[in-house]
Amino acid sequence: MGESGDGRHLIENARATGDPDYAIAVELFVAEEQNHARMLAHLLNAGGPGTKRSHWSDTVFVHLRRLMGLRLELMVLTIAEVVALRYYRALADGGRDSVLIDVAERILDDERHHVPFQCRRLRIGFQAIPTPARKVLRELWRLMAVAVIVVVAVDHGPALRACGVSRREFMADTVLIFCGILDRVFVPDRRTS
């Protein structure tokens, strides 16, 4: 569900930056996410269970993303992208169906590009914020990511287990990936180093 949205709010925020190249890149990003949703829907419909119309986690995700401006929206999206990196890696490595493995690998290939894309924009967005405030934001973002990672691990535990990944392993791996993202986004301020 999270990948099937129209991305209107994100696209509007990207256009508001005044950077036409970034706005176009965001439109392409949204199109790739919609393609992920299409592939996953076909996969789920072919497998029998079909797709859900709503889920509480998607509702929370959308509302949280839209709480403030572009920066918070990208922070929330980046958490989802990092979770996707580990989740789709589990599906690709532990899936028993060739179509599932192919879809997971395709999505992973896109997500490997999405994460640096989001990081670059967030790094730009955080540069003007004073170092003490950046440190607080970094910690709040990390806590939010850990909470999301735990929820996904609990909610998707059976699927992860079927792919040979324990909840604990999923959480540890995903937190480690996210900590690397924090280091990329919050580059130390050279003026105070």
Q: What letter does residue 170 receive in the DSSP assignment?
A: H
Judge contact between 75 and 122, C-beta under 8 A: yes
pLDDT class of 51 with cuts at 50, 70, 90 = low
Q: How far apart are CA 122 and CA 103, in angstroms?
A: 28
Mean pLDDT computed over 152-172: 95
For the cut 50, the answer to whether the pLDDT of residue 190 exceeds it is: yes
Q: What's the chain's average pLDDT?
A: 86
pLDDT at 55 over 60: no
d(CA 159, CA 162): 5
Residue 110: C-alpha distances to residues 114, 135, 190 (Å): 6, 30, 32
Q: What are phi and psi of 130, to 5 degrees?
A: -55, 150
Whether 144 and 181 have beta carbons less than 8 Å apart is answered as no
Tokens of 51: 């797709």
Mean pLDDT of 64-73: 69
- Which pLDDT band holds residue 189 (cuts at 50, 70, 90)? low
Predicted pLDDT of residue 162: 93
Token readout for 70 is: 């572009």
